[in-house]
Structure 1
Amino acid sequence: MAVQLNHTIVAATDKIASARFLADLLGLPEPEPFGPFVCVQTSNDVTLDYLETDGEIIAQHYAFLVSEAEFDEIFGRIKAQQLAYWADPAHQEPGRINTRDGGRGVYFDDPDGHILEILTRPYGSGG
């Protein structure tokens, strides 16, 4: 079997709200509970398993490869919700998207400060 990412744990102050934020924004199925987690299923069978914590949350980066049409839909929801967005993960280029490798990418934050990204072409893929 080839090695594949199966799931990752995402720390959250409110696991239900954070999981719904991601699922709604990306147009994914309703999050499902599993033990102490609330899980968001992606189309490549990777889950983001949200776990509530009272401790400090250290921001992580999660990138999602999407089609051009999905980018338009998700970016439309980002703008409709008036979320801040950037062309870069360091938040130095506000209100812009990037066009690296002939695709499009944009960064935005979740309610706990995790840096989320959607991109239409993997970085380094040319273009």
Structure 2
Amino acid sequence: MKPNKALAANLKAYFGLNNLTTYATGKLDTVSEETVRSCLSGKVAPSINAVHELCSVVSVDSMIIQRKEYRAHQILHSVRVGRIADDLMELDIDQLKTIAEMVKGLMPKQMSEYVPADLDLEGCS
């Protein structure tokens, strides 16, 4: 899924969960209604700055919600996940392998089979 499509799907889910509207969000000083509409449509890839501004206004992590489509309740945790990802970037490869195994152990059985592919750290240094 392309980032603009994931962004649109995730924002729609988040807006629905939180009863946000394009009109009300677009009336805030930092983001225009046109920007909100553009991000929600998924038809055109908005600029990085536009995505960041909108996501800041509605309190979601702009990088996380462009990766893939999530369930609405998962999007609520996107800022926390983004901060954890920032911390993970500071770790060395052995520490990342340890974290990957910990995450795999925490995942439900049907999900854990997907984690190694997503967190393939072999050959990284």
User: Normalized against structure 2, the TM-score is what?
Assistant: 0.29
Richer in strand (by share): 1
Richer in helix (by share): 2
Structure number with greater Rg is 2
Q: Which has the higher contact order (CA 8 A, sep 6+)?
A: 2
